[in-house]
Structure 1
Amino acid sequence: MTTARIDLLQQDGQLQDVVITQEGRTRRMAGRQGREREAALVQDALPPARSLPVLLGAGLGAALEAVLQAHPGPVAVVDKEADILAATGLVAQYPQVAWVLDATPEAALASLTRWQMAHGGAPFHPIALPFYLRQDRSHYQVLADRLAASQVHNFWEKARQPRFRNWPPRILGVTSQYFLMGEVQAACTRLGVPLHCIHIEDQEIGAGRFMEELLTAVLEFKPDFLFTINHLGVDREGVLISLLEQMRLPMASWFVDNPHLILHLYQQVVHPLTAIFTWDRDNLPSLKALGFEHVHYLPLGTDAHRFRPGAPAWPGMPRAGASFVGNSMVFKVGHRLRKARPPRRLLLEYRNLAREFGASDCRGVLEFLQEQHPDRYADWQALPTAERRLALEAMLTWEATRQYRVACVAGILPLHPLICGDKGWPILFRHRPEPWTWHPELSYYDHLPAFYPAQAVNLNTTSKQMKGAVNQRVFDCPACGAFVLTDMREQLADLFEPGTEVAVYEHPDEVESLARHYLTHPAERLRIVAAARARVLAEHTYDRRILALCEQMQATFG
């Protein structure tokens, strides 16, 4: 399509009409007495004082001028006709106006919602200029209908309904491809907990479609609280948090990864209607120090309906005496290193720094650097963006995990083990003389429920992002009748009885001898598995975790 020619018709310094010529066709924006008719649109339907006038189209500026004279403000104008706006210059003439120039109705609605939240959640008062409805009905008419519906249905009053009036509470969930949401949905179904989910992809965070689905779900589903994992759906600018505040809707965010590797990216994270649940009890003091009022310990668990004895073997499933399933961290470290782009001195020292951090009592990388390497902490502070600082912190965490994981897995190499994971493992052990078998990564859902019971000893090593907490495998293995040899963690003793319900090693040097012992004592393995499974079924299922979360949310916000 050819570019339109825009001609302005003026009289006495006032814009009287706009003539658009395109492909031989000429159209007028307003026609005779256009300014008067445009201003009359406002006079016929004056916006109430406690409202947010939204003009759909800037027009000749007459309607906008009439609104500004009749209303104390603020005022918004939705207009995506960039060539006309450029010709009229109205955007520059009215800097006090909120100009919504988005190209799609979804994006424009999201911008208007943010503007509405910033001004107390007052109802919209849409005023549509006829030219714009003719120009693009799929944009301006859609927005006119949605804004009018918001006005008629008094959205904010309905959204601020009483919460937690019945048991069980109603949960509005934000879902993605993260593995744990499937377990949460299944647990809610078994418990009879009403759950409505909004699916979101990473690139959609804060997008108009997600916001629109959220607002619709609040009105129609009437949730008692929003539930998310690792702050998924919470945008960095705090738009969602502000929206929840306007609706007085509490949020439960369950962190099953290091929350400090996530929360650094957010400008507005603390809000009294937010409850933080963390799988690592060591995070409680630091999260409270950030200002969160409601912080709770909620460890991981297992879906005992998925991880159960008797899962059918999949074709070609390997079996071994000793095995390990997990990522080598080789490529994760490299990716974070490239993203962080640290100074040369830190680049030369990062492996030693990671080794020292892994051996230290410090729970986090920043605490370690601040206490033991203040110069390197200053290097971290000097990185110019939050993303690079976060990447450096994560890189040192993953490198410490890589070193520790290699040391532990090396303990089973003399036992001719099976190692399942990424292609980093053949790189790490390429010079080892012991014969061992590598298998590509396994699917958590499709492979592991049958794989774990087929191995005599499943080795577990815990990431250095969680020095005191336990990971998923200590629950999944016994749930499906499999034996696991895991590293000792402080919080493990709160969940199992070491030695009776779980086999543990204190140091990587103990892995080989303990693995040999349990390989040659099958009766002892079976006793530990039976005791561990009984404990898991009684206390560590995701049904119990979701029930505990619901009870805490009701006790806090009910």
Structure 2
Amino acid sequence: MTLEKNLLALAERDPELVVRLSWPAGSDHVVEGAEGPEYVLGMQRFPLRVGPEAAAGLARQAGDEAFLFGLGLGELAAALLAGGRLVVAWERDPWLMRLALSRHDLSGALRAGTLRLLLGSDLVEERRRGLRGGLVLHPLLGQVYGVERRLLEGRHDRPVAALASGGLFVQDLAAGLERAGLAPFTLDLGRLSREELSRSLGRLRPALLAAVNYVDGLAEFCAAHGVTLVCWEIDPATSDLQPCGEPGRSFIFTYRRGAVAEYRAAGFPHVEHLPLAADPARRRPVDVSGPESARHRAAVSVVGSSMVPDVARHERAFLEAWEAAHGPGARGTGLAALSWVLEAQSRDLSAHRVPALLAGRWPALAAAHPEAVRAASEIAAALKRLAAVRRLARFAPRVWGDEGWREAEGGGVAYMGPAGHGDELDRIYCGSAVNVDLGRLYQMDIVTMRVFDVLACGGFVLAERSDDLAALFEVGVEVDCYGSLEELERKVAHYLAHPDRAAALAARGREAVLGRHTVQSRVDHMLAVAGCAPPG
């Protein structure tokens, strides 16, 4: 009833916003916790609720007019209005705006015009007109919407860059775009309706849409709106690349050399190999000598996903593909086939053999059901990571990541829990005598983000051997590597016994990253190729 009452009042002032709030919106990032709704960021959950005392305290700091950055669940708006203020409240997320209008009766203020609501790209239009009122930040969303906050507080003459939301690397891309002279604004491609996305592009008038990883249909969507797409692929695709009907001005940059031909075959004319990189503003040397950093000091460390929590899902996907190829009731033989492939792969973890093993023994399955190959490869990759950590048990490695690493615990292996993606990663990389890079079994041809990040921190890393590693670094001078678990174990022992050699490599590796492999240099290159670099 509260939502309906608020929407009726809002319709008198802003009927278009009522329509926008009726469009589909994703809600999986807001979950119910013990004390109310929580916001999901990666593997962490944060309370959304602002208590009465905190809301009142923030409201007291505002003047007669307030610009509320992050409506959230509506407590701050209610507190500001209770003080007799004129309030403009912006929220990036339509689902949160719906929740706020469901929890607080704001109908009187909406009808009277003492509360004006802005959603998503409305912020950029308001910025162009000039903001009024003192800025009040939502305690949580003021941080979550950091890209938009910098846009709001920065120079108003910078061209806008639409930025597809996504994983943590999106923040690095945003920082690179900002340093290049652009003003990023986040679009939640997976949560906003197509109608809201189309409206946003029309209002933003962006110089480009920048994305980390490609989503099927994105090129056609940008072409339909006359927007240049600049996409940096940094993660493995979870499905086959679909043919592109209308690429428009789409520029694809991929960390995998082998993917260049795949994108071109799919109809993308502008495709280029572009390795990963580090942002020295975020990854840098830190002091780990104090007692507060004791848990981050280790002889050997491993940071990353175990991939184990997804094994059951991949096993189901393999068996579904097997039954599709061999008929219902063939699950037993499917399990036997999968076990055979995984056992055969485990005998040689220096190369990805799953596709050849399946194609050699079950060619029809491999040809007709590529999802079976992907599923088996994912499981094999998880087993390889566990095997590598267990192989290093005598060095008492510390492992940071998801709960799946518990399967490797014991015999010297210590699971440390998830690693924060802020300064904690810097402390781990700087506090470890040897940082072990474990790539994905099916991606032995790339240099992982972790290698660049560790080197940017001034840490020593043992990377997996690849052609790309030798092309980007001077192996044996700027970085060292291994090609098998036997070699990994041998080199870990060597560098633990010779820390001076590890330190020399780490120092030269950091110089290499700072000189040749920064996120900023990659962003500048992409913008230049796409013709989107701001003048001056």
Normalising to structure 1: TM-score of the pair? 0.60
What is the correspondence of 1:476-491 to structure 2 with a 5 Å cutoff? 476-491=453-468
Tell me the equivalent position of 1:277.
253
What is the correspondence of 1:82-481 to structure 2 with a 5 Å cutoff? 105-106=19-20, 170=159, 172-191=161-180, 193-200=181-188, 202-204=190-192, 206-218=193-205, 222-223=206-207, 225-231=208-214, 234=215, 238=217, 241-259=219-237, 261-264=238-241, 268=244, 271-310=247-286, 317-338=295-316, 341-342=319-320, 343=323, 344=331, 345-354=333-342, 369-370=358-359, 373-377=362-366, 380=369, 389=371, 392-429=372-409, 434-481=411-458
Q: Secondary structure at the match of 2:459?
A: coil
Kindly provide the CA deviation profile for residues 379-400 of structure 1, in whole angstroms up to 9, marking residues without a partner as x: 626xxxxxxx4xx444222212
Amino acid at match of 1:296: E
What CA distance in whole angstroms lies between the structure 1 residues aligned with 2:172 and 2:497?
Answer: 35
Q: Secondary structure at the match of 1:203?
A: coil
Tell me the equivalent position of 1:54.
none
**Residues 274 and 352 (structure 1 numbering): CA distance in 2 closer, same or farther, change over 3 Å?**
farther
Tell me the equivalent position of 1:71.
none
Q: Secondary structure at the match of 1:317?
A: helix
**Residues 527 and 428 (structure 1 numbering): CA distance in 2 closer, same or farther, change over 3 Å?**
closer
| Aligned residues of 2:398 and 2:414 also touching (Cα < 8 A) | yes
Amino acid at match of 1:325: V
| Aligned residues of 1:501 and 1:529 also touching (Cα < 8 A) | yes
| Aligned residues of 1:198 and 1:210 also touching (Cα < 8 A) | no
TM-superposed CA distance for 1:173, in Å, is 2.9
Amino acid at match of 1:195: A
Structure 2 runs not aligned, ≥5 long: 2-15, 25-109, 111-156, 324-330
**Residues 492 and 356 (structure 1 numbering): CA distance in 2 closer, same or farther, change over 3 Å?**
farther
TM-superposed CA distance for 1:105, in Å, is 2.2
TM-superposed CA distance for 1:253, in Å, is 1.6
Q: Secondary structure at the match of 2:296?
A: coil
What CA distance in whole angstroms lies between the structure 1 residues aligned with 2:497 and 2:516?
Answer: 30
Amino acid at match of 1:254: W
What CA distance in whole angstroms lies between the structure 2 residues aligned with 1:327 and 1:361?
Answer: 19
| Aligned residues of 1:230 and 1:262 also touching (Cα < 8 A) | no
How many residue pairs are counted as aligned between the two chains? 376
What CA distance in whole angstroms lies between the structure 1 residues aligned with 2:351 and 2:484?
Answer: 17
Name the % identity.
Answer: 25
TM-superposed CA distance for 1:294, in Å, is 1.3
Tell me the equivalent position of 1:48.
none
Kindly provide the CA deviation profile for residues 363-383 of structure 1, in whole angstroms up to 9, marking residues without a partner as x: 7966774466313325626xx
| Aligned residues of 2:396 and 2:413 also touching (Cα < 8 A) | yes
TM-superposed CA distance for 1:429, in Å, is 4.6
TM-superposed CA distance for 1:208, in Å, is 2.8
**Residues 379 and 294 (structure 1 numbering): CA distance in 2 closer, same or farther, change over 3 Å?**
closer
**Residues 279 and 170 (structure 1 numbering): CA distance in 2 closer, same or farther, change over 3 Å?**
farther
| Aligned residues of 2:303 and 2:401 also touching (Cα < 8 A) | yes
| Aligned residues of 1:171 and 1:227 also touching (Cα < 8 A) | no
TM-superposed CA distance for 1:349, in Å, is 2.1
Kindly provide the CA deviation profile for residues 81-119 of structure 1, in whole angstroms up to 9, marking residues without a partner as x: xxxxxxxxxxxxxxxxxxxxx996238889xxxxxxxxx
Kindly provide the CA deviation profile for residues 460-484 of structure 1, in whole angstroms up to 9, marking residues without a partner as x: 1111242201101111111111111
Amino acid at match of 1:419: V
What is the correspondence of 1:470-549 to structure 2 with a 5 Å cutoff? 470-549=447-526
Amino acid at match of 2:249: L
TM-superposed CA distance for 1:511, in Å, is 1.6
| Aligned residues of 2:399 and 2:414 also touching (Cα < 8 A) | yes
Kindly provide the CA deviation profile for residues 297-334 of structure 1, in whole angstroms up to 9, marking residues without a partner as x: 11110011111112567666332111211222111122
**Residues 208 and 363 (structure 1 numbering): CA distance in 2 closer, same or farther, change over 3 Å?**
farther
Structure 1 runs not aligned, ≥5 long: 2-101, 111-137, 139-167, 382-388
Amino acid at match of 2:260: L
What CA distance in whole angstroms lies between the structure 2 residues aligned with 1:535 and 1:445?
Answer: 23
| Aligned residues of 2:349 and 2:441 also touching (Cα < 8 A) | no
**Residues 354 and 210 (structure 1 numbering): CA distance in 2 closer, same or farther, change over 3 Å?**
farther
Tell me the equivalent position of 1:20.
none
